[in-house]
Amino acid sequence: MGIVVLLIVLPLVVACILLAVKSDSIRAPIVIGAGIAIAALSIVLAIGNHGGIIHELWQSPGTFKLGGVQIATENAAAGVSVAMTVIGAIMSIAIIVLGIKYKKILAIVLAIIQEAAILWFELSKGYAIEAANTAAKNYLYLDNFSLIMILIIGIIGSGICIYALGYMKDFQRHAAGEKDRRPWFFFLLFLFLAAMVGIVVSNNLIWMFFFWEITTLCSFLLIGFTRTPEAVNNSFRAVILNLIGGCAFVAAIIMMGMHPAIHNFELSNLLDIGTQIKAAGQGGDPVFDTIIGLLAFAGLTKAAQMPFQSWLLGAMVAPTPVSALLHSSTMVKAGVFLIIKLAPCLGISGLFAIGPGFMVIIVGGATFLFASFSALSQSNAKRVLAYSTIANLGLIVACAGVGTAEAVWCAIMLVIFHAVTKSLLFLCVGTAEHRIGSRDIEDMDGLFGRMPRLALFMIVGVSGMFLAPFGMLISKWAAMQAFVDSGVLWALLAVIFGSAVTLFYWTKWLGKLTAIVANRTSIETGVNRTEMAITGLFTAFTLIVAITFPFFSGGMIVPYLGVTFSSVAENVFVALQSSDMIVMMCLVVLVIVLVLLLYGSNRKRVMPLYMAGLNEGDDLTYVGSMQKDVPVTLRNWYFEDLFPEKLMNRIGVIVTSAVLVLVFSYYIYAATALGQYLLSGGAGGGAA
């Protein structure tokens, strides 16, 4: 328990210290030291606990020692709960105040609804339910999936914080004359890490909701960090969409309290009931399904799934480390974390069975397809990355929606690979942007000549996103297998067509990076050392994870699935045969060996490019008509006519909204019908 709580408290303390630190020279060692400490702690935690057992960390009734004093967990938990309620209320007030300042009525209304609902429920029912429940209660827990998330947060997250040191120095230099608000920035970053660890270890959903709200608030403040009108607008869009999810979360909590068969707020309890219902093969309790549906809905908003994708696109206005953090290790990963956790309650029983699983699969699949289509017409590197994140999260969500063990295996694998690779790519783009003054892919023309090391890192990142034998593709492959096995053909078609498009937009970027353009001189020397070190480290991670993933699978994911899907035979946990995985591993090694052995050893005669005999000899200009020198410019295809971004987004939003509306109106109908049935005297059966 100690390390887990330390992982929440340490970033919190560091955040508060950083808030007070004004000077660079003091901030740097603190951030680097804290980052390394957090990473080390999470690794220690993982090494000590990866057996596949669920550890109840904070169980009551029970006691723990704090400074030599025995404290009953019961009292402590009640104290923490009250503190959370108070801090939660303060956070809501903060949003409301900012909403008033910037005249954002929707944000105010949503914040009021959410806070009023949760306050009302807590004070009138919630505490009473907690107190009345004398059975063993688990507030915090730790299982292998939490561990994986902690590793991602602890290593990738703190790596990004260290990277931010150098980046924000440049950022401040670019924004010369403005007030240095870096203490605030780093405060928010570390607060974010603390809240994320909180989310992944909370078993009590009210606690999880508290951390959930912190991430919403942090992302809101980070997106609006620059305080330009655009940033303010986008930050409010983010907070509004996330508050909608927050309201759904609150509704789920309230319904859990009201539901006679649940009557507490424990995630583990919820999952047990869901597993039982599934095992019994019953049609499902519409109220229970609604709870799962609402939680999944909250996850969908946080994971920026369509129709809520716009906030993540808007989040690009923030400094790049924020984007990296939001996209890879925090925020959106909190959304998919919750949905993957719910996976045992998801899944579909028939092709058209309307349930939470159906909703999640369709939303995820449609998001994957249409976000990939939208990415096709983008030349802004950060937008491509954002769409790719949305798409990949869609795939993860769809996998979780399928709800079988092998699909969840893919989802978790995708989470790992995506976190590592996407953080690498964001950091690369951030560094490139500061050096070449543009985040447009077309301006990365021949980056290999200008910033060889950075280009190499970026090439590894881009390849890692879509190319065999790297991780993302292996997970995608497994996902296809899982979709076929469970007969979700629509999702399969979405993945297949989406993947084809993915191939196109990554490769054209890769092509720009690898192009060897004449007369490029290196401008890499001025890059901050911490930036380069972290980017290099993440590159190494990308390769290492691609090589060692069978061990992750065997050592961490399969034991987790063994506990979560205890009724399923162990040999179907992994969609891929282990021989295939070993072969893929060998291919990664082969690629690395080929590059090391053969790349760049040229003993051939070099001749100019063929330009119909009119090359001026420098490969950069040709003799045009009237003997004029015409520079050669090469641009990629963007298919604005076939895959217009706006239209693709609109179709995606319409499809997903329709599904959400359909599913929830079905629930409302079903729940109302059940309520009427109960009222009309059949109450005995309903109270099971």
Partner 1 sequence: MFVFYGDTISLFQVLSLVLYLVLAPFAGGLIAGIDRKVTARMQGRVGPPIVQPFYDVAKLWKKEPVTVRTGAQDFYVLCCLIFMIIAGSFFFFGFNLLMVIFTLTTASIFLVIAGYSSNSPYAQIGAERELLQMMSYEPMVLLTAVGFFMVNSSFNSATILTSPYLSIQYMPGLFIGLVFVLTIKLRKSPFDLSMSHHAHQELVKGLTTEFSGRTLAQLEISHWYENIMLLGFVFLFFTNGSWLMVIVGIVVVIVVYFVEILIDNVCARMKWQFTLKSAWIITLIFGGGNLFVLYYLRGYLWMASQYQ
Partner 2 sequence: MAAITKSPWIIHYDGSSCNGCDIEVLACLTPMYDVERFGIINTGNPKHADILLITGAVNAQNIPVVRQIYDQMPSPKIVVAIGVCAANGGVFKECYNIAGGVDRVIPVDVYVHGCAARPESIIDGVVKGLGVLAEKQAALASGETDPDVSGAYLFDPVSYAEKGDIENGDAEGAKDRSEAEEEAAK
Q: Which residues bind partner 2 (CB under 8 A)?
A: 605, 607-608, 610, 612-618, 623, 627
65 DSSP β-pair partners: 70
User: Residue 310, Cβ neighbours under 10 Å: how many?
Assistant: 17
503 binds partner 1 (CB under 8 A): yes
Judged by CB under 8 A, the residue of 329, 421, 499, 656 near partner 1 is: 499
Are residues 24 and 37 in contact, defined by beta-carbon separation less than 8 angstroms? no
Cα dist from 211 to 16, 205, 331, whole Å: 17, 10, 11
Residue closer to partner 2 by CB (options 368, 622) is 622
Matching residue, tokens 């990308």: 542
| Residue 501 touching partner 1 (CB under 8 A) | yes
Among 85, 301, 481, 530, binds partner 1 (CB under 8 A): 481
Choose the contact partner of 584 out of partner 1, partner 2, none; CB within 5 to 8 A by kind.
partner 1
- Beta-bridge partner residues of 204: 266
Query: What is the Cα–Cα distance from 371 to 396, expressed in whole angstroms?
Result: 14
Q: Give the shortest CB-220-to-partner 1 separation in angstroms.
A: 38
Q: Is residue 468 part of the contact set for partner 1 (CB under 8 A)?
A: yes
Residue 369 and residue 494 in contact, taking contact as beta carbons nearer than 8 Å: yes
Q: Which does 450 bind (CB under 5 to 8 A by kind): partner 1, partner 2, none?
A: none
Contact 366, 394 (CB under 8 A): yes
Interface with partner 1 by CB under 8 A: which range of 212-220, 551-559, 560-568, 633-641? 633-641
Spell out the alpha helix ranges (H) of 21-157: 24-49, 73-101, 105-121, 127-132, 144-151
Residue 260's binding partner out of partner 2, partner 1, none, with CB under 5 to 8 Å set by partner kind: none
CB of 616 to partner 2, least distance (A): 6
Q: Which residues contact 350 (CB under 8 A, 6 or more apart)?
A: none
Q: Cα-flanking dihedrals φ and ψ of residue 54, to 5°?
A: -85, 120
- 28 CB burial (10 A radius; 0-12, 13-18, 19+): middle
Q: How far is the CB of 607 from partner 2 (least distance, A)?
A: 5
> Distance between alpha carbon 648 and the CA centroid of its chain, in Å?
22
Pick left, alpha or beta for residue 36 (phi over 0 → left; psi -120 to 50 → alpha; otherwise beta): alpha
Residue window 593-622: x/- pattern of binding to partner 1, with contact defined by CB under 8 A? -x---xxxxxxxxxxxxxxx------x---
Nearer to partner 1, 44 or 493 (CB): 493
Cβ closest to partner 1, residue 548 vs residue 577: 577
Got the DSSP string for 361-403? HHHHHHHHHHHHHHHHT--BHHHHHHHHHHHHHHHHHHHHHH-
Is 342 in a helix, a strand, or coil? Answer: helix
- In the three-class reduction of DSSP (H, G, I as helix; E, B as strand; rest coil), residue 523 is classed as coil
**Contact between 511 and partner 1 (CB under 8 A)?**
yes
**Segment near partner 1 (CB under 8 A); pick from 128-136, 274-282, 574-582, 668-676:** 574-582
- Residue of the chain from 636, 644, 664, 686 that contacts partner 1 (CB under 8 A): 636
Three-state DSSP class for 134? Answer: coil
Q: Which is nearer to partner 2, 480 or 518 (CB)?
A: 518
| Distance between CA atoms of residues 403 and 397, nearest Å | 10
Instruction: Output 121 or 373, the one with its CB closest to partner 1.
Output: 373
Q: Which does 73 bind (CB under 5 to 8 A by kind): partner 1, partner 2, none?
A: none
Q: How far is the CB of 613 from partner 2 (least distance, A)?
A: 4
Nearer to partner 1, 544 or 630 (CB): 630
Stretch that binds partner 1, among 179-187, 265-273, 476-484, 659-667 (CB under 8 A): 476-484
- What is the binding site for partner 1 (CB under 8 A)? 446, 467-469, 473, 477, 480-481, 484, 487, 489, 492-493, 496-497, 499-501, 503-504, 507-508, 510-512, 514-518, 576-580, 582-584, 587, 590-591, 594, 598-612, 619, 632, 634, 636-637, 642
